[in-house]
Amino acid sequence: MSGGDERIRGSAHELRDRIAAGEVSCEQAATAYLAAIERHEPTVAAYNEVLADDALRQARALDARRAAGEDLGPLGGVPIAVKDNLCTTVGHTTCSSKMLQSFRSPYTATAVAKLQQAGAVVLGKTNLDEFAMGSSTENSGFAPTHNPWDPTRVPGGSSGGSAAAVAGRLCAAAVGSDTGGSIRQPAAFCGVVGLKPTYGRVSRYGLVAYGSSLDQVGPITVDVADAALLTGVLAGHDARDSTSVPRDVPDYLATVETPIEGLRVGLVEEFFSDALDAEIAAVLHGAAETYRDAGATVVDVSLPHSRIDIDEGGALSSYAVACYYILAMAEASSNLARYDSVHYGHRTAEKLDDIVALYSRSRAEALGQEVKRRIMLGTYTLSAGYYDAYYNKASKVRRLIKNDFDRAFEACDVLLCPTSPTPAFQLGEKTDDPLTMYLADIYTISVNLAGLPGISIPAGLSAAGLPIGMQLIGPVFAEETVLRAGRMYEQASGISRLVPPLARA
Amino acid sequence: MPQTIDETLVRHIGRLSRIELTDEEVRTLRRQLADILEYFDKLQQLDTDRVEPMAHAAELRNVLANDTPVEGLTPEQALANAPARDGDFFQVPKVIGESS
């Protein structure tokens, strides 16, 4: 590989090992990534804010600790990027919203604190769809991020900045959040690995809330071993998040290289309909072959309530998508009521003497169209007379979707399915029609509704040279199974650590 | 089952949501909200009479914290992001007294 800095090529765990062995200093690692950011950020626009001075200060402090003989921890000196909806006391926490453009958090999210305690260096805050509402990062209140594989295309979303930063080698690893696919779908679009943990596995404290019953924090990395490493660091009970589950965290990295004897892979019948891009379907069937060759059994399973229907006009629909958006929008309307222009956030410059007018004008000025749409739909579905028809109905369908998964996992250990119905689409292609954009999540949202762990890993490139991702889904708290099954695929297929041309130059 | 989404209803939802809307936004949102709500009606095809609603996936019950005082934010920290303040108070337009 020509160009770039050879010392920071490869994975986060390799970089950590080289730093621990004294081959590279933390400062050199941070400097190298900051140089890569300087070079490619004008094209990719992955970051809302690069915290260069603070990153170098953190790196030098780590180097001093290492010189004093200290063990820096499992991520010692590894430069990471943090999605800008996770609170950090350094820099801003904007959620890519004009509402929070100048917001500085008085506290640090537990996920970020854990990464820092493990020795990671925070390089900066990455772009997202405003308040994590979107599937392309085009809903950012600032500017869209571009896919490092083809800058005319979207990186996916909402964690598009984090995925693009990892793919473009503008950080060694990143964290994102996933409410309906926001880690896995951009990971697929950018040719990297993204894991959404089981609901309750990682603390949501300091993750700016969107859909509280669905949100989870998770890693975006260049390979499955790094996903294992970061998941281990992020996971664990936190008294400050009452939905975080008190349960021991296995050493995911220690087991990730061990193949699963007698692995049973379930292919979800309903997901191989005409809604799926033909190239992606071929890659998925090839992946099933790869698992068979590696000694796994492949069985057909059914998730009837996650099925995708196509009407005569070719329009797609799914119970799971309807269920998800009803619940997510209802939760969003409640969560985003906090942006009142009083405690923090944007306040209109206009002098208004009525408090409701002040709220309404300030929110109108600072919130983007998609956020307004979701708040309003959520407000409507929760309003008197409609609660049963929408929210309560969706909560019941959610149970049916979860029951489907429980039944499927009686016959298999992991489900193998697409991450996204197509590879990365063009910027502007879907921005006019919110419903079409919602269908980008068609294969990922059921996993959030059921609270399961899911990982997207690269499974090949399309004829046009765009990454294709595949998704592995496990039962609750089966992160270890999902990671080991993912690593088995990497080993058997030889597909791992895809590097876009931009980062090779 | 759903009521017709007309511009009056969109303005009403805007008021409930505390979001001021321009006439153009009302027109666009009327169409978009109607399309999305129609899409949501797909769920009415399913019989859920005997299904227990599911609130979230962790299924934890009655999580209690230890009754131990911990440090909170200082007034300075809490007010640091306030758009307008008066001493240790958040400042808002007058909300009680002689109202219009």
Average pLDDT value for residue range A321-341: 97
Q: What is the mean pLDDT of chain B?
A: 91
B76 within a domain of the structure (yes/no): no
Q: Which helix (H) or strand (E) holds A195?
A: strand A193-196
Interface test with B, best of A348, A379, A387, A431 (most B CBs within 10 A): A379
Give me the torsion for CA of A50, A53, A56, A61, rounded to 10°.
-130
Task: Write the pLDDT tens digit of every residue in A186-199.
Answer: 999 999 999 999 99
| Among A198, A353, A377, beta carbon nearest to B94 | A353
Cβ-Cβ contacts under 8 Å, B54 against chain A: 395-396, 398-399, 402
In the sheet that holds A414-418, the strands lie side by side as A47-50, A121-126, A79-83, A173-178, A216-221, A193-196, A454-461, A467-473, A414-418, A264-268, A297-301
Clarify whether A158 is annotated catalytic: yes
A157, A160, A420: which is closest to A279 by C-alpha?
A: A420
User: Could you tell me the pLDDT band of residue A319, with boundaries at 50, 70 and 90?
Assistant: very high
A187, A82, A98, A167: which is closest to A139 by C-alpha?
A: A98
pLDDT of residue B2: 56
Number of H helices, E strands in chain B: 3, 2
| Pairwise CB contact (< 8 Å): B19 & A103 | no
How many structural domains compose chain B? Answer: 1
Report whether A420 contacts A440 (CB < 8 A): yes
Clarify whether A182 is annotated catalytic: yes
Task: Please list the alpha-helical segments (H only) found in B2-74.
Answer: 7-16, 23-40
Cβ-Cβ contacts under 8 Å, B32 against chain A: 373, 434
Residue partners of A49: CB distance under 8 A and separation at least 6: A84, A91, A92, A94, A124, A125
Tokens 């989404």 found at: B5
Residue partners of A502: CB distance under 8 A and separation at least 6: A40, A43, A44, A148, A149, A151, A168
Give CA separation, A339 vs A128, A156, B17, in Å. Answer: 18, 26, 11
Residue partners of A144: CB distance under 8 A and separation at least 6: A45, A127, A136, A137, A138, A154, A160, A427
Residue B63 to chain A, least CA–CA distance (Å):
6
pLDDT at A27 over 80: yes
Report whether A12 contacts A78 (CB < 8 A): yes
User: Could you tell me the pLDDT band of residue A5, with boundaries at 50, 70 and 90?
Assistant: low
| Among B10, B43, B63, beta carbon nearest to A322 | B43
Interface A:B, Cβ pairs < 8 A: 173
Q: In chain A, what are the domains?
A: 6-264+411-504 (3.90.1300.10), 316-396 (no CATH)
Count Cβ atoms within 10 A of the Cβ of residue A333 and give its class: 0-12 exposed, 13-18 middle, 19 or more buried.
buried
Q: What is the mean pLDDT of chain A?
A: 96
Task: Write the pLDDT tens digit of every residue in A239-287.
Answer: 999 999 999 999 999 999 999 999 999 999 999 888 889 999 999 999 9
Using a cut of 0.95, tell me whether the model's pTM lies above it. yes
Beta bridge partners of A50: A124
In DSSP notation, A61-72 reads HHHHHHHTT---
B24 within a domain of the structure (yes/no): yes
In the structure encoding, which two tokens stand for residue B70, read together?
């911990």
Domain with B22, as residue range(s), is 7-45
pLDDT of residue B64: 87
What letter would DSSP give residue A1? Answer: -
First to last CA, chain A: 8
Residue partners of A263: CB distance under 8 A and separation at least 6: A291, A294, A295, A296, A297, A413, A414, A485, A488
Q: Per the omega criterion (within 30 degrees of 0), is the bond before A177 cis?
A: no
- Distance, in Å, from the CA atom of A124 to the CA atom of A30, rounded to the nearest integer, reads 11
What letter would DSSP give residue A202? Answer: B
Task: Write the pLDDT tens digit of every residue in A360-377.
Answer: 999 999 999 999 999 999
Residue of B nearest to A211 (CA): B56
Give CA separation, A159 vs A107, A115, A471, in Å. Answer: 22, 18, 17
Cβ-Cβ contacts under 8 Å, B6 against chain A: none
Buried b (16+ CB within 10 A) or exposed e, A50-84: bbbebbbebbeebbebbeeeeebbbbbbbbbbbbb
In the structure encoding, which two tokens stand for residue A397, read together?
């369908």
B64 within a domain of the structure (yes/no): no
Report whether B42 contacts A394 (CB < 8 A): no
A251, A241, A196: which is closest to A220 by C-alpha?
A: A196
Catalytic hit among A11, A25, A83, A341? A83
Give CA separation, A170 vs A37, A125, A175, A222, B81, in Å. Answer: 5, 12, 13, 11, 30
- Give the whole-number percent of chain A exceeding pLDDT 70: 98
User: Could you tell me the pLDDT band of residue A148, with boundaries at 50, 70 and 90?
Assistant: very high
In the structure encoding, which two tokens stand for residue A382, read together?
């929760």
In the structure encoding, which two tokens stand for residue A432, read together?
């006019």
ipTM of the complex model: 0.94
A333, A340, A290: which is closest to A495 by C-alpha?
A: A290
pLDDT of residue A456: 98
Average pLDDT value for residue range B69-88: 95
State the CATH number of the domain containing residue B36: 1.10.20
Task: Write the pLDDT tens digit of every residue in A389-417.
Answer: 999 999 999 999 999 999 999 999 999 99
- Distance, in Å, from the CA atom of B28 to the CA atom of A431, rounded to the nearest integer, reads 14
| Secondary structure in 3-state letters for A373-393 | HHHHHHHHHCCCCCCHHHHHH
pLDDT of residue A3: 44
| Among B29, B81, B94, beta carbon nearest to A376 | B29
B12 within a domain of the structure (yes/no): yes
- Distance, in Å, from the CA atom of A22 to the CA atom of A72, rounded to the nearest integer, reads 12
pLDDT at A86 over 60: yes
Task: Write the pLDDT tens digit of every residue in A103-137.
Answer: 999 999 999 999 999 999 999 999 999 999 999 99
What letter would DSSP give residue A137? Answer: S
pLDDT of residue A480: 98
- Distance, in Å, from the CA atom of A329 to the CA atom of A391, rounded to the nearest integer, reads 10
Buried b (16+ CB within 10 A) or exposed e, B72-86: eeeeeebbebbbeee
Residue of A nearest to B93 (CA): A353
pLDDT of residue A370: 96
CB of B72 within 8 Å of any CB in chain A?
no
pLDDT at A43 over 60: yes
Tokens 């926001």 found at: A182
Give CA separation, A137 vs A48, A104, A423, A441, in Å. Answer: 12, 22, 15, 14
User: Could you tell me the pLDDT band of residue A1, with boundaries at 50, 70 and 90?
Assistant: very low
CB of A254 within 8 Å of any CB in chain B?
no
| Pairwise CB contact (< 8 Å): A104 & B81 | yes
Beta bridge partners of A157: none
